[in-house]
Amino acid sequence: MNQKLKEDVLFPRALAEQIQGVGIIAVLTVDNAAHAVPAAQALVRGGITAIELVMRTPVSENALKSITTEVPEAMVGVGTILSPVQVDIAKTLGGTYGVAPGFNPEVVKRAEKIGLPFAPGVATPTEIEAATTMGCRILKLFPAEPLGGLKYLKAMHAAYRHLDLQYIPLGGVSEANLADYLEVPEVLAIGGSWIAPGALLKEENWDEITRRSEAAVNIFRQVRG
């Protein structure tokens, strides 16, 4: 099912292939810095080594530093990067890659300049064309399900199939529709917050996060082998 990836100006092929091999990116929103490492470790125990830590809370930077330092086996992506300054922070604190909910040319330029692998967010054909003009081939589709899910993705991608684009859908993806997304060759990996939601972090229910990780990984293996 995995297809050969085309080179992306901002996203090295080797890293993209690693993420493709995992197939699932667990989205983490950390409100308590003490929860960052145990949550990441619980994900890794369940087989998910690709993480997106969103930069939306006061402790996000501390959480990122802790995970990159103490959980070296994790590929820690930095999410919700909205400014060039946040690109610098992600790189300085050891982020493996960055993603954004939307397309900001200044963010893309900064990521390219300092060498942070980066996937901008797209929701429309116009944004796809703007991103590909800057050399981006790996794109975050957000918010995937509210936009129309796989039906929307397939219809929009049809016009750009010759560009060999790859997508990371996020927003409304869950265990219930995970297999459907993974069956689409153009989907590099999916992003999901259901695996390690804030409620489980607050409860410090690391076993349930590991269980959800294992369940998602099993679906991935059934679909992509």
| N- to C-terminal Cα separation, the chain | 8
| 186 catalytic residue (yes or no) | no
Close Cβ partners of 185 (under 8 Å, ≥ 6 residues apart): 1, 2, 3
| Both structure tokens of 136 | 């981006």
CA distance 69 to 115: 20
Collapsing DSSP states into helix, strand and coil, what is residue 51?
strand
Across the chain, where does the E strand assignment appear? 24-28, 50-54, 75-79, 97-99, 118-119, 121-122, 138-141, 166-169, 190-192
Which entry of 52, 65, 91, 145 is annotated as an active-site residue?
52
| 52 catalytic residue (yes or no) | yes
User: Using CB atoms within 10 A of its CB, is residue 50 exposed (0-12), middle (13-18) or buried (19+)?
Assistant: buried
Amino acid at 218: N
CA distance 201 to 195: 11
CA distance 132 to 135: 5
Which entry of 4, 140, 175, 186 is annotated as an active-site residue?
140
Supply the residues annotated as catalytic. 52, 140
